[in-house]
Chains A and B, each alone.
Chain A
């Protein structure tokens, strides 16, 4: 147990001194964090669109178009996170 902690600390210390590893960790964490909100948001958008489509199948076309619009606006945040991820890659 102690040796595990010691090895973890030495790995972390190496990462801090090298800097490159920290950059990779930051890039990965940044993209992961940026994906949380849009993930929930797209779920809400699609769920509401399915609700609308099942309740009123005649207006499914309009609901679908609006759904894609909503997805596009919500997705933009996740994509900006992805761009930061690409820029931060070592």
Chain B
């Protein structure tokens, strides 16, 4: 890829922003690069948060337990209770872990000196989306039986009989193919877009600082604003991924009547 030339600035090619060289175990399937390190860090943060706060006994949560309990309450009240109801309470640990893992791997987008959202690479989002696909299909078959699940998801009730010729292929396509794909693409593309936005304003500020000093004020202010906005986006994407998982699982447990 050649260098892109935006407003006479040297904008790095897109592949340079997202592809990191391996630094350990090169050439093997276990090759490590920056993305892998960020995921390991996010994993360690998620594990550490809950293990540390779980090991502290006491009636009143304090310190790190506050964060963990707040997170669990948030997932239970505004994700599980809104979509699955009381039956969903046993899935709260799974959804909480997923929420925190995605949030931690997103938030490295704005952490100084790291500044790369690990979910801007497609591998882990698509793996998580396929995992969600397996889970909601399994729950559907378990709760409604194989034929019941197929019937409820492909033949939605309340549709005139003749329309099933059109509705059934569309439903098949959207339930079994589009759902995991859109789940993965939503997370990945939001992170790519955010990273590109931040890089654009950072490059603009750096170049204008070199040439005019004063001209860098506007893009630097925009960079600050966008950093705040990206914090919101990384939280929102973790929330949306988790709530969509809960919606799909709830739909598989309780079919529409």
Chains A and B form a bound pair: yes
Residue A79 interfacial (CB < 8 Å): yes
Do B240 and A72 touch across chains, with their CB atoms under 8 A apart? yes
Contact A62 B192 (CB under 8 A): no
Which B residues are CB-close (under 8 A) to A76?
Answer: 182, 185-186
A52 to B217, CA, bound (A): 40
Q: In the complex, what residues of B have CB within 8 A of residue A89's CB? A: 1, 4, 14
Cβ contact within 8 Å between A68 and B185 = no
Given the known A-B contacts A69-B247, A72-B244, are A83 and B82 also in contact in the complex, defined by CB atoms under 8 Å? no
Interface presence of A10 (CB below 8 A): no
User: How many A-B contacts at CB < 8 Å in the complex?
Assistant: 43
Which listed residue (A62, A65, A69, A79) contacts B185, Cβ 8 A?
A: A79
Q: Which residues of B contact A82 (CB under 8 A)?
A: 189, 192-193
Q: Is the CB of A62 within 8 A of B240?
A: no
Let me know if B99 is at the binding interface, CB within 8 A.
no
**B240 touching A79, Cβ below 8 Å:** no
Which one, A68, A80, A86, A90, contacts B240 given CB within 8 A?
Answer: A68
Q: In whole angstroms, how far apart are the Cα atoms of A65 and B84 in the complex?
A: 13
Q: A65-B78, A86-B14 are in contact. Are A79 and B190 (CB under 8 A)?
A: yes
Given contacts A76-B182, A79-B190, A83-B185, contact A69 B2 (CB under 8 A): no
Digitize B116-150: 1 where CB-to-A-CB distance is under 8 Å, 0 elsewhere. 00000000000000000000000000000000000
Report B's interface with A, CB cutoff 8 A: 1-2, 4, 14, 78-79, 82-83, 182, 185-186, 189-190, 192-193, 236, 239-240, 243-244, 247
Binding site for B on A (CB under 8 A): 61-62, 65, 68-69, 72, 75-76, 79-80, 82-83, 86, 89-90
